[in-house]
Amino acid sequence: MLRKIALLLLIIVAGSATGLSWMAQQIEKYVSTPVVLESPELVTVPEGAHFRSMLNVLQTKGLVAPSDWSRWAPKVYPELASFRAGTYLVKPDMTLRDVFDLFRVGKEHQFSITFVEGSRFSEWREQLAKTGYLTHDSAALSEAQIAEKIGVKKSKLEGLLLPETYHYVAGQSELSILKRAADEMNKALEKAWSERNTSVPLKTSYELLTLASIVEKETAVDGERPKVASVFANRLNKRMRLQTDPTVIYGMGDKFQGNITKKDLREKTPYNTYVINGLPPTPIAMPGAAAIMAAANPEKTPYFYFVANGTGGHTFSKTLSEHNRAVKKLIQIQRRK
- Does pLDDT of 194 surpass 70? yes
* Percentage, residues of the chain above pLDDT 90: 63
- Domain boundaries defined on the chain: 32-109, 112-187, 199-304, 305-337
Better pLDDT: 126 or 326: 126
Q: In the chain, count of helices (H) and strands (E)?
A: 13, 8
Burial class from Cβ neighbours inside 10 Å (0-12, 13-18, 19+) for residue 54 reads buried
* Predicted pLDDT of residue 19: 54
Distance CA 333, CA 23 (A): 79
* Of the listed ranges 42-46, 118-122, 163-167, 179-183, the one predicted with least confidence: 42-46
* Of the listed ranges 80-89, 159-168, 196-205, the one predicted with least confidence: 80-89
Band of pLDDT at residue 68, cut at 50, 70 and 90: confident
Burial class from Cβ neighbours inside 10 Å (0-12, 13-18, 19+) for residue 141 reads middle
Tell me the CATH number for domain 32-109.
3.30.1490.480
Q: Cite the DSSP H helix spans in 1-82.
A: 2-31, 51-60, 73-76
* Predicted pLDDT of residue 6: 45
* Predicted pLDDT of residue 13: 42
In 32-185, beta strands by DSSP E:
41-45, 86-90, 111-114, 134-135, 165-168, 172-173
Residues 6+ apart with CB under 8 A from 93: 34
- For domain 305-337, the CATH architecture is 2-Layer Sandwich (3.30)
pLDDT digits (tens, 9 = 90+) for 100-114: 899 999 899 999 999
Q: DSSP letter for 50, please.
A: -
- Does pLDDT of 15 surpass 50? no
| Sign of the CA dihedral with 131 first, then 44, 65, and 22 last | positive
* Percentage, residues of the chain above pLDDT 70: 93
- Does pLDDT of 10 surpass 50? no
* Predicted pLDDT of residue 31: 77
* Of the listed ranges 55-69, 100-114, 170-184, 302-316, the one predicted with least confidence: 55-69
Q: What would the mean pLDDT of 16-36 be, rounded to a whole number?
A: 72
Q: What would the mean pLDDT of 301-329 be, rounded to a whole number?
A: 90
* Predicted pLDDT of residue 272: 96
Strands 305-308 and 165-168: unpaired
pLDDT digits (tens, 9 = 90+) for 97-146: 899 899 999 899 999 999 999 999 999 999 999 999 999 999 999 999 99
| Sign of the CA dihedral with 332 first, then 333, 336, and 337 last | negative
pLDDT digits (tens, 9 = 90+) for 214-262: 999 999 888 999 999 999 999 999 999 999 999 999 999 888 888 888 8
